[in-house]
Amino acid sequence: MTRTIALPSEGFLLEHAPGRLVVGAGPLEARTCRRAEALACYAPDFLLADERPWLHPTTWRETTRDALCEALDGAYPPHVAWEEPEIAEYAARFSSLMDRIDAGALAKAVPVILEHGTWQPPSGGVVAGLLRRALVASGPSFVYAAWTATSGIVGASPEVLFVREDPERVETVAMAGTYPDAEAADLPADPKETREHASVVDDIVAALSPMGAVSVGAREVIRLPAMAHLKTDIAVAVTSPVTFGDLVRALHPTAALGVAPRSAGTELMPSLGPSERGRFGAPFGIEWPDGRAHVLVAIRNVQWDGRAVTLGAGAGILAESRLEREWEELRLKRSAVKDLLGL
């Protein structure tokens, strides 16, 4: 029987298998590299500019969704006063990227919009309330979080950057192409969404091919609360040693959150969204002392610092994209996160 636990005042959490969670308790030691003998959480910003992205807990343990929900019984999300983003800033970024696509310099880019808010009332008990809601409502997504006394991130991501259970095999997914859940049956026939998805598959295959033989699964539709996505499982049989850092550098960001082709250059990354996007879209995961690793793409989340709250969303732009449709997709994604977290 799994013992229930309460949340520490500082820590992290990752669902590394359906219903199975690792909870790390602070004080957290932030380091440039993971201590070889220790489990640690990898939680950098999107641009990988954080000099100390590894968070080492004082203690850690495993639990289950059900056990943690029971421990958090009675915790509720805080109320947020949201400020709807304006389309003007996004429209300018959209137009600039479309010019590059029309000129042939880009095939795809994923600009991000941020919605800001304020906790009402002040943010006591924020983590417990958000996590309990996510654990109950997230469906086939992996819940994750990292927090201190004044700041943090909580989310539930359906997108895996990579999983390594065996040193000779690495698994990942391509996830791109979005429809409202009510229209999921039409998603596989949409030419824009299927081409967007194919570009992400091709990007990941190209990134993994130098490591060994790559296998690509069948494309499927994954249905989440409010949304449906195209998903393809991808794996590589590794033929020479590959480090955690090698995998992050090879896969982040995939075309699902960056640009395609990658030869367009990392200099475009800052133009895809405001610097205050923080960890939105960044790798977020755990590496165990034996080298096993589970790393998500940190989407479907909220971040906060004090009472200031940020919610990000991105949508892929291709030659067929239209501003109004992409803006609506961004609204749908933000609304789904608010529903997911009770905000």
- Rounded to an integer, what is the distance from CA 233 to the centroid of its chain? 17
Determine if the peptide bond prior to 27 is cis (ω within 30°): yes
Distance CA 341, CA 76 (A): 10
- How many Å is the maximal CA-CA distance in the chain? 61
Give the DSSP per-residue string, 295-324.
EEE--SEEEEETTEEEEEEE--B-TT--HH
Q: Are strands 142-147 and 160-166 parallel, antiparallel or unpaired?
A: unpaired
Average pLDDT across the chain, whole number: 91
DSSP code, position 122: -
186-216 pLDDT per residue, tens: 999 999 999 999 999 999 999 999 999 999 9
Contact 44, 279 (CB under 8 A): yes
Q: Which residues pair with 146 in a beta bridge?
A: 12, 153
Domain spans of the chain, in order of start:
11-341
**pLDDT band of 2, cuts 50, 70, 90:** very low
217 pLDDT exceeds 80?
yes
For the record, the structure tokens of 312 come out as 């990000």
pLDDT per residue as tens digits for the range 254-282 = 888 888 888 776 667 666 776 788 999 99
Q: For the chain, where are the alpha helices, taking DSSP H only?
A: 65-71, 87-102, 126-137, 191-208, 244-251, 323-341
Closest CA to 316 of 212, 229, 205: 229
Kindly report whether the peptide bond that precedes residue 180 is cis, defined as omega within 30 degrees of 0.
no
Task: Yes or no: say if 87 and 24 are a contact pair by the CB < 8 Å rule.
Answer: no
**Region 11-341: CATH code:** 3.60.120.10
The rounded distance, in Å, linking the Cα atoms of 83 and 72 is 29
Strand partners, 259: 109
Q: How far is it, in rounded angstroms, from Cα 228 to Cα 38?
A: 37
| Confidence (pTM) | 0.94
Give the pLDDT score at 225: 83
